[in-house]
């Protein structure tokens, strides 16, 4: 116990080293550095993947460690994206508008500039007035604060309502799914103030930045890698201490933790809110690389995929979540992008674009049934960790408790 945090958690150091190596390698081989082995679009894909890894870490905290299967974390991810997107879109439109208005003979008034920006942004939804939620869109700092604040507040309010009434297990999962659906449907409306199903676009262009996308993509890669590294470190620090003990206790046996005198609801709420904030940050880094955000991004299915990544990677271990998110999302890009070779069977040709989801669905079932440890289990094979024989018993009575096969000695 007197040993340092790193020495108690060697996986953290290994992970950070790998992440740093990865970032440096990709940077060197990128178009931005002049070598150009890796295309800029692939750099963006990698950067986005890092953001997905970050939200997967958040998901692992809430599901793998606290035992709450949230099917709503992509809502927070999307909200983070929307918050930064508002500033990006506002500022870029402002620059364009100011530029074009400076051509006319009489200099524009402040109101004229604002009206023109409003017209540009909200023309597609038949409006030109700025909704109230865009009040702070002109300030990068405030929007950055909102990236954390808005998902955090939503999670706080929703979590308070849900946990207070002791909704657990599948009920809670369904409720979080409903929350995501409600948010997505709300945003789909034109008068939601966020451009309805058009969403926010052109986010890849940083206002006032002259550098080419080759370089900007690298900046985002670095920022994403940094965020992932910090997020991982934070998560590892949280779960390594007594707080980690308590939330794992909640996962396996919620009632027992309560009788120890810990307010289970508060702990759940805190983890829920914290992970929502992390998800918001991940989203704020993801969408400028994706270039566009619309309500379809936060449909319930996205959040379920998040759970799938964590499950395939192996829940209850942070590197598992990262491995799962990275491999599944990259594979998915590969298969659905049409790069995977088709398999001719003579009478039928398997086109992976069509069959990838079938494969993913089935392999997911297989992982759940036969390899609950997910890909993380491979690490156990290598480090020769054994699974205890508990005669088929789970580690606790709670719905989120670890299964026998997931535990290790």
Q: Which stretch binds another protein (CB under 8 A): 25-33, 35-43, 77-85, 179-187?
A: 179-187
Interaction with another protein in 240-299: which residues (CB under 8 A)? 241-243, 245-246, 248-249, 252-253, 255-256, 258-264, 266-267, 270
**Per-residue x/- track, 104-123, another protein (CB under 8 A):** xxxxxxxxx-----------
C-alpha distances in Å from residue 126, one per residue of 25, 92, 101, 293: 47, 20, 22, 19
Q: Which stretch binds another protein (CB under 8 A): 80-88, 131-139, 202-210, 351-359?
A: 351-359
Interaction with another protein in 372-391: which residues (CB under 8 A)? 372, 388, 390
What is the dihedral angle through the alpha carbons of 179, 184, 185, 190, rounded to the nearest 10 degrees? 140
Interaction with another protein in 211-240: which residues (CB under 8 A)? 238
Tokens at 66, concatenated: 């606290």
Q: Which of 182, 209, 211, 343 binds another protein (CB under 8 A)?
A: 182
Q: Is 343 a binder of another protein (CB under 8 A)?
A: no
- For residue 260, the minimal CB distance to another protein (Å) is 6
Cβ-based nearer residue to another protein, 27 or 363:
363
Cβ 85 vs Cβ 280: under 8 Å: no
Cβ-based nearer residue to another protein, 346 or 392:
392
**How far is 78 from 286, CA to CA, in rounded Å?**
9
SS3 readout for 42-109: HHHHHHHHHHHHHHHHHHHHHHHHCCCCCCCHHHHHHHHHHHHHHHHHHHHHHHHHHHHHCCCCCCCC
Nearest to 66 by CA among 270, 251, 308: 251
Tokens at 36, concatenated: 């150009």
**How far is 407 from 399, CA to CA, in rounded Å?**
15
Q: Which of 166, 209, 338, 343 binds another protein (CB under 8 A)?
A: 166
Q: Is 131 a binder of another protein (CB under 8 A)?
A: no
Cβ 254 vs Cβ 401: under 8 Å: no
Q: Is 334 a binder of another protein (CB under 8 A)?
A: no
In sequence order, what are the beta bridge partners of 293?
200
Cβ-based nearer residue to another protein, 20 or 366:
366
Interaction with another protein in 67-96: which residues (CB under 8 A)? 69
- For residue 152, the minimal CB distance to another protein (Å) is 15
- For residue 129, the minimal CB distance to another protein (Å) is 15
Residue 307 parent element (H or E): helix 300-313
Q: What spatial distance separates the first Cα and last Cα of the chain, rounded to whole Å?
A: 18
Q: Is 304 a binder of another protein (CB under 8 A)?
A: yes
Q: Which of 161, 209, 211, 343 binds another protein (CB under 8 A)?
A: 161
Q: Is 194 a binder of another protein (CB under 8 A)?
A: no
Cβ 67 vs Cβ 178: under 8 Å: no
**How far is 78 from 57, CA to CA, in rounded Å?**
16
Q: Which of 170, 209, 211, 343 binds another protein (CB under 8 A)?
A: 170
Q: How many residues bind another protein (CB under 8 A)?
A: 88
- For residue 75, the minimal CB distance to another protein (Å) is 12
């Amino acid at each position: 116990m007197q040993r340092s945090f790193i020495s108690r958690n060697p996986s953290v150091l290994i992970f950070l080293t790998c992440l740093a190596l990865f970032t440096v390698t990709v940077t060197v081989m990128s178009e931005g550095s002049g070598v150009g082995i890796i295309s800029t679009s692939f750099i963006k894909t990698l950067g986005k993947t890092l953001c997905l890894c970050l939200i997967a870490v958040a998901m692992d905290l809430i599901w793998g460690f606290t035992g709450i299967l949230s099917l709503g974390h992509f809502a927070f991810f999307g909200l983070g994206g929307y918050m930064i997107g508002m500033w990006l879109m506002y500022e870029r439109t402002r620059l364009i508008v100011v530029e074009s208005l400076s051509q006319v003979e009489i200099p524009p008034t402040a109101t004229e500039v604002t009206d023109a920006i409003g017209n540009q942004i909200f023309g597609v939804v038949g409006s030109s007035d700025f909704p109230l939620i865009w009040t702070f869109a002109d300030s990068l700092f405030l929007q950055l604060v909102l990236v954390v604040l808005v998902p955090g507040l939503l999670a706080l309010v929703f979590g308070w309502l849900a946990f207070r009434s002791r909704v657990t297990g599948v009920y809670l999962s369904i409720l979080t799914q409903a929350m995501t659906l409600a948010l997505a449907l709300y945003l789909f409306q034109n008068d939601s103030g966020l451009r309805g199903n058009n969403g926010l676009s052109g986010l890849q262009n940083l206002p006032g930045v002259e550098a080419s996308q080759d370089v900007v993509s690298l900046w985002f890669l670095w920022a994403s890698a940094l965020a992932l590294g910090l997020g991982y470190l934070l998560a590892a620090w949280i779960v390594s201490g007594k707080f980690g003990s308590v939330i794992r206790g909640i996962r396996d046996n919620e009632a027992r933790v309560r009788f120890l005198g810990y307010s289970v609801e508060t702990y759940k709420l805190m983890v829920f809110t914290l992970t929502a904030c992390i998800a918001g940050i991940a989203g704020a880094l993801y969408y400028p690389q994706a270039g566009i955000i619309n309500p379809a991004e936060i449909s319930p299915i996205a959040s379920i995929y998040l759970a799938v990544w964590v499950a395939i990677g192996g829940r209850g271990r942070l590197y598992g979540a990262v491995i799962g998110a990275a491999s599944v999302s990259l594979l998915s890009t590969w298969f659905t992008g049409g790069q995977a070779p088709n398999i001719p069977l003579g009478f039928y040709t398997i086109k992976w674009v069509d069959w990838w989801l079938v494969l993913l669905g089935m392999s997911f079932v297989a992982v759940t049934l036969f390899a609950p440890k997910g890909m993380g289990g491979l690490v156990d094979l290598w480090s020769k960790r054994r699974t205890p024989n508990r005669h088929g018993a789970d580690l606790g009575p709670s719905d989120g408790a670890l299964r026998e096969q997931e535990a290790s000695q």
